[in-house]
Structure 1
């Protein structure tokens, strides 16, 4: 790990007044949640996953949709935050992070203690009825799985669907909410564990005056970044937090 680069990020964080974080799948891999786009191992390398992860596929055969995705989502919901999630929550407590924009649906940022989180691709906290639009506990999907009675249904009889954004669907309301904040000003955007290949989320980097990219692999905007750190977010972010605490709270 480049110590000088870490020190530079600490300096940027200490000076910026409007800092946000944008996180992708690479933040959660250290919690045992596989990413989506790694060749051969990512979820989207599976043609069945791609064909089922659409609103049309859900409407056509919701039981098949749940049979494929629910085992994965049950693992996501059992996962625990890793040092990267905890470090971001600490940045918020230190007053150096205004909020987290996440592409992840696993809820681990909230579980780690972050209070301001925009889940732009949705979340697995609740289901929503496709008929009456009322929310329902995600546990109803687990119960339907255990009983072998998929898809889960609302008390009105309507099919319950997860509150996640599927291919071909509009972004979650959180995406439009965060745009309001970014348009008011973003001194610094920390991009962590994201390939920046998925739009419209990747376009959010255009609102930042300065970028810091923390990722295992190169991204299309590395040349625009003030600092690029290669490696595991769970190793890099705690180092940054430690340096920032020493700077802000000497002695």
Structure 2
């Protein structure tokens, strides 16, 4: 099962009033394990960056002016996420912005059913408790000391750790649950154990090997150990 943990940074709160995406960060998970494959892109919002947004993200007009516009990266972004489930904290916000940008490009919208909202999961697991990303990091003992500003890739990496804790702990079943339950590797193919790349060294001493050979010699030509 492929999942993409996703975060966006924007100029404000509403694309319908002119706010735009300025950064996208994403981390790929395969069977709840990070693969090391990421997506990260700064985006020229084609408008000035409000002061309050600059204070939150640290991204100013001078930095963003030579970055690609969303129209230039939209197809590559869709190719990266594919049909994977999108793990997002407060998914309604990010999906709203992404779909607005995709609509302006005439590209397919991301269906709501494709999103997994970690904010909703946290509120159900810990009703009445703070459910911000920082609060969940404190709850699970996840180091977010580098999160002095909101950055999409760093936030998605942190969210990946939070998500795995929310669903039962990091690498909750070591990727074995599908194999145990239905005999497949998660893609529908029959699971077959792979040989070791390097065979283990024998633990049998020379004395033990000689004693075994002498014992087998007493069993005659039909001994199982003599058959290939």
TM-score (norm 1): 0.32
TM-score (norm 2): 0.34
Which protein has greater RCO, CA pairs closer than 8 Å, 6+ apart? 1
- Structure showing greater Rg: 2
